[in-house]
Structure 1
Amino acid sequence: MRPRPLRLLVTLLLACCLAACADGAAAPVNGSPGVGDPLFPTAGNGGYDVGHYGLDLSYDPPSGRIEATAALTATAREPLASFDLDLSGLTVTSVTVGGRSADFSRKGTELVVTPAQPLPAGRRFETTVVYQGVPGLLTDPDGSQEGWFHTDDGGALALGEPVGSMAWFPGDDHPSDKATYDITVTVPHPMTVVANGELAGTAPRPGGRTAFHWHVAQPMATYLATVAIGDYTVQRSRTASGLPVYTAVDPRSDDPQTAASLARIPEIVDWESSIFGPFPFSSTGAVVAHLGDRQGGYALETQNRPTFPGNEGTPAVPVTTLVHELSHEWFGDWVTPHNWQDIWLNEGFATYTEWLWKDHEGVATEEQSAQAAFADADNWAFAPASPDAKQVFAPAVYGRGALVLHELRRALGDKAFFRMLRAWPAAHPYGNASTQEFTAFCADFTGKNLTPLFATWLYGRARPAHL
């Protein structure tokens, strides 16, 4: 036995630990597999913030398969021995951190990454994930599906609310972590790819394929990212104020009502801008896909241009739905909920915008829309500020959420109320906000005691005797 070297090693290790403690350095930790969202506790990940996603996908229509690389630029918020990425299905073939090979493992929808060396707090790093497979769909607690929809012509449509983006790329899949994006998708000619942001360019690829590169310069939540692959008729125009408008419509989903609605995008955007303030992104528009009768899908306020799934014989885009989704560019995309329990800050505002539009169009007054919502028993199933995971997209989030704004308008008067509608999203540009921040903002902005109003309309369960 030779104990002296062992004692020397222990002494050195102890000295290192004492030196680290003396310097105030924290020991590396394993980043948490979720941010603690009250409705989706495993959504997102702890320990870092993503600043940019570089996504490069090659898509094969006959098989529905992708071969992809995701390069994430992030900053460690604490010393990290390991960290998680959200990814559902698909096969990961390699992971690097800072250009060095990293260990990784899979546990459900968690991709656990262990860098070759721990990451100190404040370190900016790049993680590259190479992966492949056939992206699929996730079923939400309310029974709806999201993720990667395969269309019946070999194309695809990605819809990710609330946690479906992890069906096609690894990331920090929670609205509290917004980032910029570069999305490049390579497809066979003559297919078209539409995504968020601006089309930065196209380039030929071997085998009669084309790469479409889309750049998203303004921060975006993961659930707002989209890719639409297929045969699209693309039209470009501008609003009266000069904002670029880009629409892409699958010819099988085209119909007179949809065409009439899309033609009004410049008018709608300029009207909403007159109420909510300047449009917060570099372009607007819409994508109208074709999912086929076998799939559901849903309209979604994907950043820059909302997405609508359509089928033959069914008008894909009623004008009020387009008004609703475009208003989300302010309420949802520009200022994004802090967590999913705050979803009424998206849907209540967008529903109220529908009421304003109907009033503007002479279809129904705002008061008539409010009375109809008040009479609807579904709007009183729960308080809009406290849905559970099955109720995120239930009527009370929409209609009852809009009633909160109706009552605020009554309490504040039109002048102060419409000033508030502009000031609220502008107070959190490209950021996040919670219900508590909104109620505090309203009180500070107006100097009024609004606690009784919010207690009844936002947090209360019982329907008042009258509106």
Structure 2
Amino acid sequence: MSRFAPVALTVACALLVLTACSGGVQGTPGGAGVRDPYFPKAGNGGYDVTHYDLDLGYDPDEEHLTGTATLTARATQELSAFDLDLKGLDVESVTVEGERARWNRSGQELTVRPRDDLDDGETFRVTVRYSGSPVTITDADGSEEGWLPTEDGALALGEPVGSMAWFPADNHPSDKASYDIDVTVPEELEAVSNGELLDRSTRDGRTTFRWHTAEPMASYLATLAIGDYDIKRSTTGSGLPVYVAVTPDQAAAGRKVLAEIPGIIDWAETNFGPYPFSSTGAIIDRPDAAGYALETQNRPVFPGAPGTALLVHELAHQWFGNSVTPKSWRDMWLNEGFATYAEWLWREDDGGGSAQETFDALYDHGEEHHKDLWSFPPAKPTSAAHISDDPVYQRGAMVLHKIRQAVGDDIFYDIVQGWAAEHRHGNASTADFTGYVEERAPDEDFDGIWADWLYGEGKPDRP
């Protein structure tokens, strides 16, 4: 069409927001953020990522990262532009389907404008080349995530939004994908990530590690640990690979507790159903590497050798949080309530106090150790700064125990295992969970549990 088209035709086309003058459909930009109640800028609209292919190189002396990230995605609308989450780092180029794309930066948003609009349902690849010194992100609660330089390397942790410090992503739990992560580091160091190690090769003083994660993974669960580690490989009794990486100064302290991994996995399968991933294990870094443990997929990360209860907690997350992943950060209690209750169940089965005794002690004296226990209900944290506070963990576990009290052990374990199976490798919300419980126990009235324990303000009346 000539740019000197008649005025009437031009006006008519302008009024048709989604329709081109030729009769085709024009794309619109995807949303910057998915309106998460606590992290509104996290994630992006208009597409769904199915695979991440990351090719990374890191120089610990210079704290310099180079990266090429190729994302395979499917458009969920007609797209003229879309955003990726990337904080810091310098973008060198962006291509979509091999064609150079225009792009710009604003805060954590990398906005990409393909040469041609993307059709609804179209599968496409976007490649971002970038480099720089990755940033450490301080969360609203004061904890640090993202890229954490260590004495001999670095540790990458992503909950809730830190993964955007080292690769561009649709950085929200609601978009899960498979991963290939290649990492090249000085040959004297190890590079440990999620999934299975496919290959390692050394050339010119640098070693490349190739990690593959076949099962869907939320971006916040991706990890990368670079440093001097003792590596141990074994299997559980059922043949599940166990891959453990431990800093030498923690090897002695960690040896006994890490030997419990096969037994914990077997116990968890009895309680929660089949293990949802193709390998397990752990990464134990120095105590000053991070201020917390994290349930990174396949192998959780610990700052120093953990106790058994913490190991149980993080391995239980492989079912609850990693396989069954929350739809939004408001659903965080589904991760932490289940993992905390797993600690109660382990203690009960291992000859310690019963879950009922743990519940009673928490109700009667919980404020002595968890001063904010009754400050808000587990399903309604007051802000992003509080999504990892005591009510999410402890009161979340209490909700599960109230369900168990109401339905009895047989139905309770049917609910737990069925929930893990029905939403395996997917996403679920609090409403999905309460609806599922009601369907599996239709003769019970759960209104009081939801009103008082899940959503209610303050300390409920004596149970």
TM category (shorter chain) comes to: over 0.9
Does the CA-based 8 Å contact 2:26-2:117 persist in structure 1?
no
Match of 1:96 in 2: 95
CA distance in 2: counterparts of 1:74 and 1:460, whole angstroms: 40
Tell me if structure 1 keeps the 8 A contact 2:324–2:425.
yes
Provide, for residues 58-106 of structure 1, a one-character-per-residue CA deviation record: whole Å limited to 9, x for no partner: 1111111011100000011111111110001000000000100001111
- 2:213 matches 1:224: no
**2: distance between equivalents of 1:124 and 1:217?**
19
Q: How far did residue 204 of structure 1 move? A: 2.3
Once residues 430 and 25 of structure 1 are traced to their aligned partners in structure 2, the CA distance between those partners, rounded to angstroms, is 37
Deviation at 1:28, TM superposition (A): 1.4
Contact 2:181/2:193 (<8 A) preserved: yes
Q: Do 2:230 and 2:251's aligned partners in 1 also have CA atoms closer than 8 Å?
A: no
Cα distance 1:457–1:15, how it changes in 2: closer, same or farther (>3 A)? closer
Corresponding residue of 1:80: 79
Give the aligned length: 454
Q: Which runs of 4+ in 1 moved over 3 A?
A: 7-27
With the length of structure 2 as denominator, give the TM-score of the two structures: 0.94
- RMSD between superposed Cα atoms in Å: 2.0
Q: Which position in structure 2 is the counterpart of 1:385?
A: 379
- 1:204 is matched with which residue? 202
From 170, 193, 196, the equivalent of 1:195 is: 193
Paired position in structure 2 for 1:32: 31
Instruction: Report the Cα distance in structure 1 between the residues aligned to 2:3 and 2:410, rounded to whole angstroms.
Output: 79
Distance 1:449 1:25, change over 3 A: farther
Is residue 2:52 matched to residue 1:57?
no
Match of 2:302 among 301, 308, 331: 308
The answer to whether the 8 Å contact 2:13/2:20 transfers is: no
Matches within 5 A, 1:227-242: 227-242=224-239
Q: Distance in 2 between matches of 1:142 and 1:89?
A: 21
Query: How far has the Cα of 1:361 moved from its partner?
Result: 1.4
Distance 1:171 1:61 in 2: 23
Question: Which whole-Å deviations, capped at 9, do the CAs of 1:303-344 have from their partners, x for residues lacking one?
Answer: 11111122xxxxx21110000000000000110000000000
Correspondence for 1:338: 327
1:443 aligns with 438
Q: Is 1:285 aligned with 2:299?
A: no
2:362 — aligned with what? 373
Local SS of the residue matching 1:6 = coil
Aligned AA for 1:42?
Answer: K
In structure 2, the partner of 1:313 is: none
1:423 aligns with 2:412: no
Is 1:275 the equivalent of 2:235?
no
Alignment equivalent of 1:396, drawn from 384, 391, 397: 391
What are the ranges of 5 or more consecutive residues in structure 2 without an aligned counterpart? none
TM-score (norm 1): 0.94
Structure 1: stretches of 5+ with no match in the other structure: 311-315
Instruction: Name 2:245's counterpart in structure 1.
Output: 248
Q: Deviations over 1:13-66 (max 9, x none)?
A: 857987948999653111111000001000001110000000010111111101
> 1:423 is paired with a residue of what secondary structure?
helix
More off after superposition, 86-95 vs 245-254: 245-254
Is the deviation greater in 20-29 or in 163-172?
A: 20-29
Q: Deviations over 1:281-301 (max 9, x none)?
A: 001000001263xx5432111
Distance 1:373 1:218 in 2: 37
Q: What amino acid does structure 2 have at the position aligned with 1:363?
A: G
CA 110–15 in structure 1, closer or farther in 2 if over 3 Å, else same: closer
Q: Percent identity?
A: 51
Q: Kindly provide the CA deviation profile for residues 319-374 of structure 1, in whole angstroms up to 9, marking residues without a partner as x.
A: 10000000000000110000000000000000000001111111221112112222
